[in-house]
Amino acid sequence: MPSVLKSQPLVNTISDNYKILIVLGAGSFGQVLKCLKLDTAETVAVKVLRNSNADELNMREMRMLKKLRCMDSDKSNIVRCHECFQRSDRTFMVFEMLDMSLHEYMDKRKWLPAPLNGIRTVIKDVRIPERI
């Protein structure tokens, strides 16, 4: 991926309610932006997806996140997804801002496998009764 995309947002604006602060990361999927949600003054992470041949995958991810939103994220070890929406040729997924990404966590662990007890806790919490 060109280095300019790692620091330059894929979009200039998300909506009137979000102010882009910085690019947190970039990959083949798109980018994750640190944003300020203006109506709540909350800092959030916004995943901006490239809508190429992956439209069906984007829709599937949004359906999955919608089902996960009904879970109590205070009792579950699942990142909170506030909303998903599409605008022009982009898909946006708004998440709570965590202190580090999975990539940063694994890098901090020197890429050793995550502890089994931690994985069990997360897997136990992710029980979606019907097929996504």
Query: Which domains are seen in the chain, by residue range?
Result: 4-125 (1.10.510.10)
- Residue 109 and residue 118: Cα distance in Å, rounded? 13
Q: How confident is the model over 5-24, as pLDDT tens digits? A: 457 777 888 888 999 999 99
On whether 66 is known to bind a ligand per the annotation, the reply is no
Is the predicted pLDDT of residue 118 greater than 80, yes or no? Answer: no
The predicted model scores a pTM of: 0.74
Q: How confident is the model over 69-91, as pLDDT tens digits? A: 666 666 766 778 888 888 877 88
| Cβ-proximal residues to 72 (8 Å cutoff; 6+ apart), any chain | none
Q: 3-class SS at 34?
A: strand
The mean-pLDDT minimum among 32-36, 42-46, 90-94 falls in 90-94
pLDDT value, residue 112: 92
